[in-house]
Structure 1
């Protein structure tokens, strides 16, 4: 995940799901996005491996206000949130497992 660092914070109401105790992987996807499917598998695997990490997938088309507010311009886009919901990493495109684990290290 070579995306830039960014500020801001998200909460459970905005995400439609609870934050992880230690970190949250937020994935913005669209229905016909092939890389989104692979990203879903990668993030779910990492969340299952690391205690206290949640994976939340958000349909970009159904949540345009949030997408615009966060300046999401393509899918998949992944945000890594710390325990307080602050955005600590952001990357567009399909991430590698090692990059996701590394980004989580910065969030926890």
Structure 2
């Protein structure tokens, strides 16, 4: 698996995500089954995606996608990646995010597109 584009930047698309990219940005959450902060993160990201038109939230079970986890260097769950419209990773964070931080990261993703 290679998630690097021709320009050398890490990019994710529908093949890696199992879902289409959002029209404006995509919130990708890597979770694991027994991760309590993952459930809270899911709620925050789903709420933000519901508030901001063109933003999609995709949750990936880290245990089911070990090759992708290794390729991206995901070391703990939850890890959240913010992708722009081209699937470029514009922001990365571990742990449970605050809604305000997610909204700020989306602003960065939309600005780069």
TM norm structure 1:
0.94
Larger radius of gyration, structure 1 or 2?
2
The equivalences for 1:1-108 within 5 A come to 7-108=9-110
Aligned equivalents of 2:100, 2:70: Cα separation in 1: 29
Aligned residues: CA RMSD: 0.5
**1:8, CA displacement in angstroms?**
1.1
With a CA cutoff of 8 Å and minimum separation of 6, indicate the structure with the bigger relative contact order: 1
1:4 corresponds in structure 2 to none
Partner of 2:3: none
- 4+ long deviations beyond 3 Å: none
| Structure 2 residue runs without a partner (length 5+) | 1-8
Whole-Å separation in 1 of the counterparts to 2:21 and 2:106: 14
TM-score (norm 2): 0.89
1:65-98 alpha-carbon deviations (Å, 9 max, x no partner): 0000000000000000000100000000000000
